[in-house]
């Protein structure tokens, strides 16, 4: 290895394999995933001393409901501030029977997704603002074109990759490692989604039906 292994950026990822109701019945709380994410990030606190971020994603959401929730913080006690802010919305419901209703929580409360991602930032390049904290989002009104990214990396050819995006006609919002990687992946994601639309559309499928095919067959 040419580079020394250092404590730089921590990442925690949880994918709940059962519905929230299972965790409510088994562990007494539908917030099992959030509790585990907090623990994983606390254990890695030395891996990020400049800030942190959390994203949760709800699987199989209904149109008209928010399914991606993100919280980022910098400064002192950044990790405590993130989870205090998240859990406060549930603590305010103390005594409310809906707090025990996993289906209601998923439908009506943020941060009740089955996919949870946390990142602790150890700044090696750039400034330490909240805008530099991961996870980064690439949002779109088409659910299959949304993207969330968190990582621990430094690119050596950022400008080259940025120029490729500009040549494609894009207008990236900044020249940085993470935004460049996000938009590069996003470009191929858009291409794959469009390929599947073009594949199924001639067979007379509706856009909603094509969405289901995209969910099952997306391959980037």
Confidence class for position 7, pLDDT limits 50, 70, 90: low
User: Which residues form the domain of 45?
Assistant: 1-129
Domain shared by 99 and 207, yes or no: no
Q: How close are the terminal C-alpha atoms of the chain, in Å?
A: 30
Let me know if residue 5 belongs to a domain: yes
Contact between residue 58 and residue 112 where contact means Cβ atoms under 8 Å apart: yes
Over pLDDT 70: what percentage of the chain?
93
Residue position matching structure tokens 């209904």: 62
Range with lowest mean pLDDT among 77-81, 176-180, 196-200: 176-180
The total of structural domains in the chain comes to 2
Domain shared by 106 and 194, yes or no: no
Let me know if residue 148 belongs to a domain: no
pTM attached to this predicted model? 0.87
Q: Which of 94, 129, 164 is the last residue of a domain?
A: 129
Domain shared by 16 and 109, yes or no: yes
Contact between residue 189 and residue 147 where contact means Cβ atoms under 8 Å apart: yes
- Over range 163-168, report the average pLDDT: 81
Q: How far apart are CA 106 and CA 215, in angstroms?
A: 20
Answer whether residue 1 shows pLDDT above 50: no
- Over range 172-190, report the average pLDDT: 82
Answer whether residue 2 shows pLDDT above 50: no
Domain shared by 114 and 33, yes or no: yes
């Amino acid at each position: 290895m040419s580079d020394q292994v250092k404590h730089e950026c921590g990442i925690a990822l949880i994918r709940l394999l059962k519905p929230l109701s299972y965790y409510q019945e088994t562990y007494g709380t539908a917030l099992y995933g959030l509790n585990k994410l907090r623990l994983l990030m606390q254990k890695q606190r030395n891996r990020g001393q400049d800030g942190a971020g959390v994203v949760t994603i709800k699987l199989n959401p209904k149109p008209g409901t928010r399914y991606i929730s993100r919280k980022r913080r910098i400064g002192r006690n950044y990790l405590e501030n993130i989870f205090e802010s998240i859990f406060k919305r549930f603590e305010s419901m103390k005594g409310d029977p809906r707090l025990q209703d996993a289906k209601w929580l998923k439908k009506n409360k943020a941060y009740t997704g089955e996919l949870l991602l946390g990142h602790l930032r150890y700044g090696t390049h750039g400034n330490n603002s909240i805008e530099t904290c991961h996870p980064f989002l690439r949002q779109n009104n088409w659910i299959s074109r949304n993207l969330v990214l968190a990582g621990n990396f430094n690119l050596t050819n950022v400008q080259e990759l940025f120029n490729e995006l500009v040549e494609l006609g894009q207008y990236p919002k900044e020249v940085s490692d993470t935004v460049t990687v996000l938009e590069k992946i996003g470009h191929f994601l858009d291409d794959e989604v469009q390929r599947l639309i073009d594949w199924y559309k001639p067979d007379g499928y509706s856009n909603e039906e094509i969405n289901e095919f995209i969910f099952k067959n997306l391959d980037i």
